[in-house]
Amino acid sequence: MKNLPILLLTALVLGACGDKSAEPGAATAELRPALTVELVVPRTEDWPRTLTANGNVAAWQEAVIGAEVAGYRIAEVLVDVGSKVRKGQPLARIDASTVASEVAEAKAAVAELEASVAEARGNAQRAVELQARGFYSQQMNTQYQTAEQGAAARLSAARARLQAAELRLARTSVLAPDDGVVSARSATVGSLTQAGQELFRLIRGGRLEWRAEVPSADLAGLRTGMPVRIAAPGGATVEGKVRSVAPSVDAGSRNGIVYVDLAPDDAVRAGMFARGEFLLAAAPARTVPEGALVLREGFAYVFRLDGEAQVAQTKVALGRRQDGRVEIVDGLPDGARVVAAGAGFLADGDRVRVTNATPAVPAATVGAAK
């Protein structure tokens, strides 16, 4: 009877601390889903493989234009930077008054010598006739023939000087050597032209090219005519085609230059730095929506259905991206079904409520072309 109070106290404590898992709400709270989700099955699509590179936009060919006559004053500048010009169009005019006087002087000299030649020719003909009659000696005849030849030679020299003066006169107009766009101008009215002085720069044909720096290991996969997409600084996309691949690589960087002809577009300018993609041959890509990805601690994850209503966090390796979908290169088992959106609110092992009845896809059919 002495132990009866102790036994009663023990029974009361055990009753108060009984198994609470038997309460009706305990099991319900433990099995409550963390999120209502929709599942998707990865699908395989033919996506173009791309090679990304960086490089500078430059003029295809840039012509340096200067005056062909030196020591003359520039009288008029007809174009400015950005002007589109045609072949043979005047860019600037040089004061031609001095050259015009030189042409007039040369023409007068030619006219004078033409008269001298006519006179010498007549004298030579008469000397031949008079020698035949015995009035002139052979020496006299030779002197008249030599005089005619000398006059003819002086006339040829005068005509050459006239031609040179006329050529200088024609060159007082600085002309565009080809169609293109003026990219630089240093010509100013009133300045004197100098030999070798640059007056204008012209982008021939208005053609631009992208000079991409590509690692030497990737050069073998590039071919002439391969399509290229350039991302302009303003966000626009410019199309292009590979024109040539440099036959050598830089010994320091181990990169080779690939020259890409760009389509005419105001979004790019010579001197810009741009990033672009070479569009290689298409290859199958196993893809999921971008919303299915979760980035944690620098790695990419998806949540796949594991069992009836539980998800497992799965680390994956990513590849190409296109139109809101991303390629899964590795890490996702065949036949997996993944959470399409809202995966960032889940944790590994959470229970979920599935809203769609997406069936599991057998391994043999996963990645079928759409």
Q: Is there a single domain that holds both residue 137 and residue 156? A: yes
DSSP state of 4: H
Residue 170 has pLDDT above 70, yes or no: yes
164 domain-assigned: yes
Sign of CA dihedral 209, 210, 211, 215: negative
Q: Is there a single domain that holds both residue 231 and residue 291? A: no
Element (H, E) at 98: helix 97-133
**At 37, is the pLDDT very low, low, confident or very high (cuts 50, 70, 90)?**
confident
Q: How far apart are CA 155 and CA 295, in angstroms?
A: 90
Q: How far apart are the first and last CA of the chain?
A: 84
**Phi–psi pair at 123, nearest 5 degrees:** -65, -40
Helix (H, G, I), strand (E, B) or coil at 95: coil
Element (H, E) at 240: strand 237-249
Q: Is there a single domain that holds both residue 72 and residue 191? A: yes
CATH of the domain at 342: 2.40.420.20
Across 159-185, average pLDDT: 91
pLDDT of residue 92: 94
Q: Is there a single domain that holds both residue 320 and residue 232? A: no
Q: Which token pair is 38?
A: 């929709």
Percentage with pLDDT > 70 across the chain: 88
CATH of the domain at 129: 1.10.287
Q: Where is pLDDT greater, at 15 or 143?
A: 143
* pTM of the shown model: 0.61
14 domain-assigned: no
Residue 38 has pLDDT above 50, yes or no: yes
Q: Is there a single domain that holds both residue 137 and residue 261? A: no
* Vertex 221: Cα angle to 253 and 289 (nearest 5): 100
361 domain-assigned: no
Q: Where are the beta strands (DSSP E) in 73-226?
A: 74-77, 84-85, 90-94, 173-175, 180-185, 200-204, 208-215
Residue 361 has pLDDT above 60, yes or no: no
pLDDT of residue 139: 81
The answer to whether 261 touches 240, Cβ cutoff 8 Å, is yes
Q: What is the per-residue pLDDT across 325-339, written as a single tens digit (0 to 9) for each? A: 999 999 888 888 999
Across 137-149, average pLDDT: 83
Q: How far apart are CA 227 and CA 279, in angstroms?
A: 6
Residue 12 has pLDDT above 80, yes or no: no
**Phi–psi pair at 132, nearest 5 degrees:** -65, -30
Range of the domain at 42: 32-46+284-354
Q: Is there a single domain that holds both residue 199 and residue 223? A: no
pLDDT of residue 359: 53
Helix (H, G, I), strand (E, B) or coil at 27: helix
Q: How far apart are CA 196 and CA 279, in angstroms?
A: 44
Number of folded domains that form the chain:
4
15 domain-assigned: no
pLDDT of residue 140: 80
Rounded to whole angstroms, what are the CA distances from 34 to 305, 311, 315, 339, 359? 13, 10, 21, 13, 22
115 domain-assigned: yes
Q: Where is pLDDT greater, at 157 or 6?
A: 157
The answer to whether 339 touches 311, Cβ cutoff 8 Å, is yes
Q: Helix, strand, coil proportions of the chain in percent (round to 5)?
A: 30, 40, 35
Residue 188 has pLDDT above 90, yes or no: yes
Rounded to whole angstroms, what are the CA distances from 303 to 203, 313, 318, 337, 365? 55, 5, 15, 8, 21
Q: How far apart are CA 220 and CA 245, in angstroms?
A: 9
Where does a domain end: 170, 189, 222? 170
319 domain-assigned: yes
Q: What is the per-residue pLDDT across 276-305, written as a single tens digit (0 to 9) for each? A: 999 888 888 899 999 889 998 889 999 998
CATH of the domain at 192: 2.40.50.100
Q: What is the per-residue pLDDT across 102-127, written as a single tens digit (0 to 9) for each? A: 899 999 999 988 998 898 888 888 88
7 domain-assigned: no
Q: Is there a single domain that holds both residue 86 and residue 186? A: yes
Q: Where is pLDDT greater, at 120 or 6?
A: 120
- What amino acid is encoded at 137 in this protein? S
Q: What is the per-residue pLDDT across 196-255, written as a single tens digit (0 to 9) for each? A: 889 999 999 999 999 999 999 999 889 999 999 999 887 889 999 999 999 999 999 999
Q: Is there a single domain that holds both residue 291 and residue 182? A: no
Q: What is the per-residue pLDDT across 68-106, written as a single tens digit (0 to 9) for each? A: 888 889 999 999 999 999 999 999 999 988 888 889 999
φ/ψ bin of 302: left (φ > 0), alpha (ψ from -120 to 50), beta (otherwise): beta
Q: Where is pLDDT greater, at 263 or 132?
A: 263
CATH of the domain at 218: 2.40.30.170
Q: Is there a single domain that holds both residue 114 and residue 166? A: yes
Percentage with pLDDT > 90 across the chain: 42
**Phi–psi pair at 206, nearest 5 degrees:** 65, 15
Where does a domain end: 262, 283, 304? 283
Q: Which token pair is 290?
A: 């971008």
Helix (H, G, I), strand (E, B) or coil at 48: strand
Q: Is there a single domain that holds both residue 76 and residue 197? A: yes
pLDDT of residue 142: 84
Q: Is there a single domain that holds both residue 304 and residue 195? A: no
Rounded to whole angstroms, what are the CA distances from 71 to 80, 94, 190? 23, 10, 12
Q: Is there a single domain that holds both residue 80 and residue 186? A: yes
Helix axes 97-133, 138-170, angle to 10 degrees: 160
Strands 74-77 and 62-65 come out as: unpaired
Q: Which token pair is 263?
A: 């389509």
337 domain-assigned: yes
